């Protein structure tokens, strides 16, 4: 195909990692199921060391859980094998243009229980919501930061990491597809602004809890985040642990059936934003 140059081929995850780091291609077309190291782990390894590389998952399977794992690992697209070559070229061009790609054969929707499934009445519905895990999406361009947050969240029961992304486009796709309860978001993404995703997330779901975690703590940035509907604003170097506290209280509050706010009756942000109240 014109404009595409295949610079290398590999038959396994480890070989793919070595080749990608040596040749530094623009994009890696990555199988998911491989004999030595699967595509999820291979993608994590490559993007941790060469975040500028794009990854297109290309697999015979279309299990929604696997699709989410690939996007969580940092893939920018997922294409199911079996289509014509034009689909592969379309996926590659889409990703290289900064647009995430998801094969039309994949359905990421979740089964939604009816009002009468295992419950009855308002109390039963409240109990059902309490049992449902809190879904969280993490968007930060630092692999180290994402790994640290994942480690923090793993200590909590009742929370599910629905996906993580390093860029605006993939983060937006995850928010749209996964419909998270919590969004942990950096202000500065590579060449992009997390404020665009903050605005989109609040339009899609005004009740979503948004935690801004950043090194960019200028008062005007804080105020802009507040204006767009962010709930908390924490500095990475000094307030990292507060993300865990907010998520824990969110889980406990929802389990108690009080509502969706992590701090009932509170405004937004920690101290430092005009008129804001203290975070827990």
Does the pLDDT at position 208 exceed 80?
A: yes
What's the mean pLDDT in 82-99?
A: 86
Q: Are 235 and 212 in contact (CB under 8 A)?
A: no
Query: In Å, how far from its chain's centre is CA 66?
Result: 14
What's the mean pLDDT in 221-241?
A: 91
pLDDT digits (tens, 9 = 90+) for 106-143: 544 443 333 333 333 434 434 444 457 888 999 998 88
Give pLDDT, residue 259: 46
Pairing of strands 159-165, 134-139: parallel
Give pLDDT, residue 234: 92
pLDDT digits (tens, 9 = 90+) for 26-50: 999 999 988 788 999 999 999 888 8
pLDDT digits (tens, 9 = 90+) for 150-203: 888 888 888 888 888 888 888 888 888 888 999 999 998 877 889 999 999 988
List b or e across 198-218, with b for residues whose CB sees 16 or more CB atoms inside 10 angstroms: bbbbbeebeebbbbbbbeebe
Higher pLDDT, 19 or 268: 19
Average pLDDT of the chain, as a whole number:
79
Does the pLDDT at position 242 exceed 60?
A: yes
Q: Determine what percent of the chain is predicted with pLDDT higher than 90.
A: 30
pLDDT digits (tens, 9 = 90+) for 265-280: 333 444 333 333 344 4
Give pLDDT, residue 258: 47
Helices (DSSP H) in 54-193: which residue ranges? Answer: 64-73, 85-96, 121-131, 143-153, 168-178
Give pLDDT, residue 63: 80
**What number of H helices and E strands is found in the chain?**
10, 11
**Distance, CA of 224 to CA of 156 (rounded, Å):** 30
Does the pLDDT at position 231 exceed 90?
A: yes
Q: Which helix (H) or strand (E) holds 60?
A: none
Q: Write the class of the CATH domain 121-255.
A: alpha beta
**Distance, CA of 233 to CA of 212 (rounded, Å):** 5
pLDDT digits (tens, 9 = 90+) for 74-83: 999 899 888 7
Higher pLDDT, 107 or 60: 60
Higher pLDDT, 267 or 52: 52
Q: What angle do CA 174, 177, 179 make, to 5 degrees?
A: 90
Question: With respect to CATH, is domain 13-102 assigned 3.40.50.2300?
Answer: yes
For tokens 């780091």, what's the residue?
21
Q: Do domains 13-102 and 121-255 have the same CATH topology?
A: yes
Domain boundaries, the chain: 13-102, 121-255
DSSP character string of 98-133? T--EE-TT---------TTSS--HHHHHHHHHHHSP
Give pLDDT, residue 131: 58
Higher pLDDT, 129 or 19: 19
Does the pLDDT at position 69 exceed 70?
A: yes
Give pLDDT, residue 268: 45
Give pLDDT, residue 257: 58
Give pLDDT, residue 262: 45
Give pLDDT, residue 130: 46
């Amino acid at each position: 195909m014109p404009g595409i140059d295949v610079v290398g081929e590999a038959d396994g995850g480890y070989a793919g990692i070595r080749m990608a780091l040596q040749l530094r291609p623009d994009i890696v077309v990555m199988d998911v199921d491989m004999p030595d190291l699967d595509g999820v782990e291979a993608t994590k390894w490559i993007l941790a060391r060469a975040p500028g590389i794009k990854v297109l998952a290309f697999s015979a399977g279309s299990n929604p859980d696997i699709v989410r794992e690939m996007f969580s690992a940092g893939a920018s697209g997922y294409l199911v094998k079996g289509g014509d070559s034009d689909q592969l070229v379309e996926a590659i061009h889409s990703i290289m243009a900064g647009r995430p790609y998801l094969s039309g054969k994949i359905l990421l929707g979740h089964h939604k229980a009816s009002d009468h499934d295992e419950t009855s009445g308002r109390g039963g519905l409240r109990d059902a919501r309490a049992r449902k895990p809190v879904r969280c999406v993490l968007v930060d361009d630092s692999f180290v930061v994402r790994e640290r947050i994942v480690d923090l969240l793993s200590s909590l029961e009742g929370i599910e990491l629905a996906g993580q992304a390093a860029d605006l486009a993939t983060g937006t796709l995850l928010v749209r597809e996964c419909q998270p309860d919590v969004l942990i978001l950096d202000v500065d993404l590579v060449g992009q602004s997390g404020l665009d995703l903050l605005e989109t997330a609040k339009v899609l779901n005004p009740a979503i809890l948004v935690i801004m975690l950043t090194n960019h703590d200028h008062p005007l940035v804080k105020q802009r985040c507040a204006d767009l509907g962010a709930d908390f604003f924490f500095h990475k170097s000094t307030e990292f642990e507060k993300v865990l506290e907010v998520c824990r209280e969110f889980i406990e509050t929802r389990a108690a059936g009080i509502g969706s706010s992590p701090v009932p009756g509170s405004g937004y942000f920690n101290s430092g934003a005009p008129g804001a109240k203290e975070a827990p």
